[in-house]
Structures are given as C-alpha cells and as structure tokens.
C-alpha cells in the first residue's frame, strides 16, 4: 500500500489510478453478473425467461455485486488509511528523534519533558534537570575528524540511554554536543549522585581512532525543583550550572545553587 501511495505525486496520477479502479470494478461487475445470470437462468441461452426470474436476477445481482464491491473498496480505503496513519507516526518519530544517536532531539525532548513535568506536579514529585556538554568537542572534531566526533556522540548517548533505563529518566541530544536529561522523584543528593554517575561512566569510555584511544569527558550542570515547574526556567538554570562546571575546570558536576 505504501509503495502504491508513493507513486501518487500529481493530479494525473490520481486520475490514472481512479481509471484503473473503475476498469477493475467494471470487470468485476461483468464477471459477477455473468456468473449470477448462469446460476439463475441456466446455460441455455435460448431458454425463455420469466419476469420472476428477471426480478430474482436483478435483486440477487444488485445485492451481491453492491456488497462485494463496497466491501472491497472499503477494505482498500481502510488499508490506505492505515498506511497513512503509520506514515504519520513514522514522520512524527523522525521529526522528534536525533538520527545519529537515536535519542530524542530538542523538539521531542521539549514535548515529552513538558508532559513529564505536568505528571510530576500532579504526583507532588520533585524534578531534576541535567544539562551535559562534551568537553573540548570542537578540538576533537578538528584533530580527529567528524567521523570520530560522531563516535564520541554515540558513546555519550549510550551512557545517557543506560542512565535513563536505570532511573526512568528522559534523555535527549539537545543540540550539537549538548545533552539533556530530566528525572522525577529524586532528592538533591540522589540527583547529584546520578549526575556523577553519568560523568564517571562517560570518563570511562574511550574512542579508538585506529591508532590511539581517545578519552572523553563531560561537564554537567543540574538543578532540582520541588514545585512550580517551568521547562524553560529549569533548562536555563541547569545550563548556568553547566557553564559554571566549564569555568571551574570541566569534567565535573555543578549544582545550580552552588554555581558561581
């Protein structure tokens, strides 16, 4: 169905497809009419036909052909609608997913994070927002090339994905070498431990460029809020803590209230 739909690009394609369907419908009608006629009147073409036989033929043929064709067309239309719905879902997923890492992109994260904040507010749970940035990523790209840079991004994304699995977090590649995570129900100490967990796991990863192993570190800023959640405010506060971590030497975690 999707292959057939992919071939419809112009009004002419629609008209040609409609014509083919009409020809098929006419052929089916002719075949079914002939078959029903043989059943009602028999094989003797010279045999006399009564009015009752004609009425029986007309009623039987009309009902059978109408039901069969409408059922076939309804099924076909239903399959086309199903294909369209699947295509819409796939496009929506693509539009909200980072193609390199498989994580949510900024658009997808903002949408799902907003829903998570609403749920946390309803549950009375605290929210921790983490912003992570790969240290010296531009230098990595400049020295080793974008292929190695992409491998670095994939490795860091894998660390975030494992963190999300362990803690029920929502994680994303928020842009460039920056990643974001939001997790609910954590205290300040638990959020700090989780951020340190991410930093430590990233530092433990190495990227092999064919000659040497490239160590990778990240800086993390986080904030914890217990009520009155606003996504934009949380992101800005965590981002400020992230830049403090950068200023204070990188490869470290900073909480917003401690950032200076």
**41 pLDDT tier (thresholds 50, 70, 90):** low
**Considering the chain, what is the average pLDDT of its residues?**
82
183 conformational bin, left if phi > 0, alpha if psi -120 to 50, beta if neither: beta
226 Cβ partners below 8 Å, 6+ apart? 126, 127
Report the alpha-carbon distance of residue 192 to residue 254 in Å, rounded.
8
Count of CB atoms situated within 10 Å of the CB of 160: 24
Report the alpha-carbon distance of residue 10 to residue 18 in Å, rounded.
13
- For residue 260, pLDDT over 80 is answered with no
Q: Which of 9, 177, 189, 196 is catalytic?
A: 177
CA atoms within 13 A on the CB side of 48: 3
**φ, ψ for residue 259, nearest 5 deg:** -70, 140
First and final C-alpha spacing in the chain = 59
Of the ranges 54-68, 93-107, 173-187, 208-222, which one carries the lowest mean pLDDT score? 54-68
For residue 259, the model assigns a pLDDT of 46
DSSP state of 131: E
How does 217-242 read in b/e, with b if 16+ C-beta sit within 10 Å?
ebbbbbbbbeeebebeebbebbbebb
Of the ranges 9-18, 19-28, 42-51, 79-88, which one carries the lowest mean pLDDT score? 42-51
Catalytic, 197? Answer: no
**59 pLDDT tier (thresholds 50, 70, 90):** low
- For residue 161, pLDDT over 60 is answered with yes
| DSSP line for 98-129 | -TTT-SB-HHHHHHHHHHHHHHHHHHT--EEE
18 conformational bin, left if phi > 0, alpha if psi -120 to 50, beta if neither: alpha
> Are 130 and 181 within 8 A, CB to CB?
yes
243 conformational bin, left if phi > 0, alpha if psi -120 to 50, beta if neither: alpha
In this prediction, residues 151-163 reach a mean pLDDT of: 95
> Are 207 and 141 within 8 A, CB to CB?
no
In this prediction, residues 114-122 reach a mean pLDDT of: 94
Rg of the Cα trace of the chain? 32
- Residue range(s) in the chain whose domain bears CATH number 3.30.70.270: 106-255
**φ, ψ for residue 145, nearest 5 deg:** 100, 165
Percent of the chain scoring above 90 in pLDDT = 52
For residue 211, the model assigns a pLDDT of 60
**20 pLDDT tier (thresholds 50, 70, 90):** confident
In this prediction, residues 2-17 reach a mean pLDDT of: 65
**132 pLDDT tier (thresholds 50, 70, 90):** very high
Report the alpha-carbon distance of residue 224 to residue 237 in Å, rounded.
10
In this prediction, residues 25-37 reach a mean pLDDT of: 69
Domain 106-255: which CATH class? Answer: alpha beta
**207 pLDDT tier (thresholds 50, 70, 90):** confident
Report the alpha-carbon distance of residue 168 to residue 227 in Å, rounded.
19
């Amino acid at each position: 169905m999707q292959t057939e739909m992919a071939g419809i690009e112009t009004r002419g394609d629609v008209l040609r497809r409609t014509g083919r369907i009409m020809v098929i419908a006419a052929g089916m009608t002719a075949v079914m009419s002939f078959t029903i006629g043989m059943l009602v009147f028999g094989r003797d073409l010279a045999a006399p036909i009564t009015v009752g036989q004609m009425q029986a033929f007309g009623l039987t043929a009309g009902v059978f052909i109408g039901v069969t064709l409408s059922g076939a067309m309804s099924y076909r239309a239903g399959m086309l609608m199903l294909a369209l719905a699947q295509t819409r879902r796939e496009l929506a997923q693509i539009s909200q997913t980072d193609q390199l890492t498989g994580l949510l992109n900024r658009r997808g994260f903002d949408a799902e994070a907003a829903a998570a904040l609403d749920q946390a507010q309803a549950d009375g749970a605290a929210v921790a927002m983490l912003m992570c940035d790969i240290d010296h990523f531009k230098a990595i790209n400049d020295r080793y090339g974008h292929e190695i840079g992409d491998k670095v991004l994939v490795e860091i994304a894998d660390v975030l994905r494992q963190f999300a699995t362990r803690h029920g977090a929502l994680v994303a590649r928020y842009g460039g070498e920056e990643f974001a995570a939001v997790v609910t129900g954590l205290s300040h100490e638990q959020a700090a431990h989780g951020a340190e967990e991410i930093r430590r796991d990233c530092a433990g990863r190495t990227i092999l460029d064919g000659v040497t192993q490239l160590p990778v570190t990240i800086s993390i800023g986080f904030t914890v809020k217990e009520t009155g959640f606003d996504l934009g405010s949380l992101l800005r506060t965590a981002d400020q803590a992230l830049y403090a971590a950068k200023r204070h030497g990188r490869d470290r975690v900073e909480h917003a209230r401690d950032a200076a």
